[in-house]
């Protein structure tokens, strides 16, 4: 391997070269050298953990026009290009050698061909730009959970977002005894036009698992560019598969019962209530998106990989999300993206206020109500996938264990989806294996605006992690099974569904009902309540929910609502089993236990239908 030390000494200022040299890490030097040689920036800034370095990148984002100030101190906004508003699933590919067939069920490109292509695209791509070299830590610092990462980018907006979302890692790199074990990301927004990426047709996100390296070019949307987020999740899943831990697409929160906390992790696909669940009033948030889970003393412990939130802003309002809404409307560091701006005030869909302006500036440029794009489709005031980036420390309900190097012990794991016709609002799995094989591995959810493509399509999304798998699905399922089996104390597994509808299409859940489902799960992990046994799992008793609705929401919970919500819909459940069975037949080496579990659930459902009918009231089930 070429030694880039002399090369960088000539290309960098003395101050920036000394920052790199102080790490005493040849792998870092060589990575930076390769990127500088490839991208050919006009200058290079090396970011340490100092306040001055962090402020430098923040100010650069404003100077370059990537962000602009809003009326509230610390608040800025950023626009991505009109056609750069979501993760680009089609052009996100793994670089795989021809001899490697282990990732045949994922989007891949021949490694030699892909490297040549992306390096061709990125050759001199930073000419006349400044390169930012940033160091971060995924997970709490000085922890067995920690994973180090470097982000190299020509976007100050990306660097600023990284700083809000992730813990500084320069000093951690200095302390690390293992010098070549870190994630690497190189990104360029490419040629800019009106401060947004111009050549989105050449947008590429290419993943080299062997080198733990990801290339991202001609895009600004954070899901494609903030490497430590979903791109790092892919690398971490691969890394975890080679060890004995889990990297999961989950929130992490504490739920209190009489002053005593229990911690839950939860995996929900995008737009299925994930962040709003983690932000439930009265409870505490540890994180909203990604966790690492390890076994410690026979128990499952988890940490939040991040220290901030990059959340979908659509629907965030003062009634349903009071704590988050307060953080987004008071002083503090917040980046809004792809929303409407009018007189220094941000506006978004579902904001819950009257007198929303009929003109302003948004991701389409000057906007007015009724404006249409080139295809004749109306441009809404804010994009459905508009976002906010905010530090968790700006939230009043932050749990005190965010930075605990040992993480928190998990009492429960929740799997959710967007399901209008099959699953009940809340249910406990029959066992760890049934929870992983049925609740987790069989998630279906309607697509949303968070990814490119059509909305409203039923999408198979096991563990809410399908888009980010970097190992075969069969191995991923086995990892989860094996992890639980080695625990002396397994977290209980639950499923939730906030989107069940009646035959007329009306939702059977109110938006705040999730507060009750969480409290019931909290009682269940402590064995403080009984449940009813059904063919698909254990459901709450009416008496317990009636009491909880009164205590938590001050509402009278009618028996009629309970029966509607928790009726077992046997035809729909059988149809789902049939769909899932056919899907898994397409994958290689799927654990036989998955098909056995599907068969067992199908048998229980058929016996139940024979005894009762197609639709079975919860009143027919026995207490366990």
Residues serving a catalytic function are 272
Task: Specify burial of residue 460 (Cβ count, 10 A radius: 0-12, 13-18, 19+).
Answer: middle
Measure the CA–CA gap between 482 and 433, rounded to whole angstroms: 9
| Sheet arrangement for strand 340-342 | 345-347, 340-342, 359-362, 365-368
Q: How far apart are CA 228 and CA 337, in angstroms?
A: 18
Give dist(CA 547, CA 540) in Å, integer.
12
3-state helix, strand, coil in the chain (%, to 5): 30, 25, 40
Length of the chain in residues, anyone? 624
Whether 28 contacts 148, CB under 8 Å: no
**Which residues partner with 184 through β-bridges?**
150, 213
Question: CB 106: neighbour CB atoms within 10 A?
Answer: 19
Q: Distance between CA atoms of 152 and 582, rounded to whole angstroms?
A: 43
Q: Which residues pair with 368 in a beta bridge?
A: 359
Q: In sequence order, what are the residues at sequence separation of 6 or more whose Cβ sits closer than 8 angstroms to the Cβ of residue 530?
A: 541, 544, 623, 624
Which structure tokens are listed for 302?
């988890």
- Distance CA(119)–CA(100), nearest Å, equals 22
Determine the Cα–Cα distance for residues 363 and 373; give it in Å rounded to an integer. Answer: 12
First and final C-alpha spacing in the chain: 64
């Amino acid at each position: 391997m070429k030694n880039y030390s002399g090369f960088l000494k000539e290309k960098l200022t003395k101050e920036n070269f000394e920052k790199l040299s102080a790490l005493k890490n040849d792998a870092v030097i060589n990575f930076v050298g390769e990127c500088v040689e490839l991208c050919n920036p006009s200058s290079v800034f090396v970011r340490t953990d100092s306040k001055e370095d962090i402020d430098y990148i923040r100010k650069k984002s404003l100077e370059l026009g990537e962000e602009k100030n809003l009326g509230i101190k610390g608040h800025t906004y950023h626009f991505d290009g009109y056609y750069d508003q979501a993760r680009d699933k089609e052009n996100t590919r793994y670089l795989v050698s021809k001899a490697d067939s282990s990732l045949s069920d994922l989007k891949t490109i021949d490694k030699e061909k892909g490297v040549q292509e992306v390096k061709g695209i990125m050759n001199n791509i930073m000419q006349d730009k400044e390169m930012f070299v940033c160091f971060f830590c995924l997970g709490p610092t000085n922890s067995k959970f920690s994973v180090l990462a470097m982000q190299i980018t020509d976007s100050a907006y990306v660097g600023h977002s990284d700083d809000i979302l992730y813990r500084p890692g320069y000093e951690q790199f200095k302390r690390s005894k293992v010098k070549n074990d870190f994630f690497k990301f190189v990104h360029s927004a490419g040629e800019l036009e009106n401060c947004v990426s111009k050549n989105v047709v050449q947008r590429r996100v290419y993943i080299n698992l062997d080198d733990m390296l990801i290339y991202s070019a001609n895009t600004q949307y954070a899901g494609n560019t903030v490497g430590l987020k979903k791109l790092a999740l892919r690398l971490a899943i691969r890394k975890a598969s080679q060890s004995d831990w889990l990297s999961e697409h989950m929130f992490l929160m504490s739920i209190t019962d009489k002053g005593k906390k229990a911690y839950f992790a939860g995996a929900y696909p995008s737009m299925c209530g994930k962040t709003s669940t983690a932000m439930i009033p009265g409870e505490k948030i540890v994180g909203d998106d990604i966790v690492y889970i390890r076994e410690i003393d026979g128990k499952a412990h988890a940490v939040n990989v991040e220290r901030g939130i990059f959340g979908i802003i659509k629907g965030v309002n003062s009634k349903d999300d009071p704590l988050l809404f307060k953080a987004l409307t008071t002083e503090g560091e917040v980046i809004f993206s792809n929303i409407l701006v009018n007189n220094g005030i941000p506006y978004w869909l579902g904001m819950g206020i009257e007198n929303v302006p009929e003109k302003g500036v948004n991701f389409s440029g000057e906007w007015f109500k009724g404006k249409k794009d080139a295809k004749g489709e109306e441009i809404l005031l804010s994009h459905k996938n508009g976002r906010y980036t905010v530090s968790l420390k700006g939230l009043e309900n932050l749990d005190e264990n965010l930075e605990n190097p040992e993480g928190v012990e998990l009492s429960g794991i929740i799997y959710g989806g967007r399901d209008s016709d099959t699953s009940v609002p809340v249910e406990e799995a029959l066992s760890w294996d049934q929870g992983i094989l049925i609740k987790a591995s069989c998630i279906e959810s309607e697509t949303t605006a968070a990814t490119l493509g059509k909305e409203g399509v039923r999408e198979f999304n096991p563990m809410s992690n399908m888009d980010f798998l970097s190992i075969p699905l069969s191995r991923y399922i086995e990892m989860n099974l094996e992890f639980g089996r080695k625990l002396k104390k397994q977290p209980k597994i639950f499923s939730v569904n906030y989107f069940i509808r009646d035959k007329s299409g009306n939702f059977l859940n109110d938006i705040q009902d999730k507060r009750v489902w969480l409290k019931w799960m909290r009682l269940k992990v402590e064995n403080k309540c009984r449940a009813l046994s059904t063919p698909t799992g254990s459901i709450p008793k009416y008496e317990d929910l009636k009491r909880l609705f009164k205590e938590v929401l001050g509402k009278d919970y009618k028996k009629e609502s309970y029966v509607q919500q928790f009726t077992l819909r046997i035809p729909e459940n059988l149809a789902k089993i049939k769909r899932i069975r056919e899907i898994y037949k397409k994958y290689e080496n799927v654990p036989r236990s998955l098909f056995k579990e599907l068969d067992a659930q199908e048998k229980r459902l058929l016996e139940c239908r024979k005894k009762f009918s197609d639709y079975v009231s919860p009143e027919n089930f026995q207490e366990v």
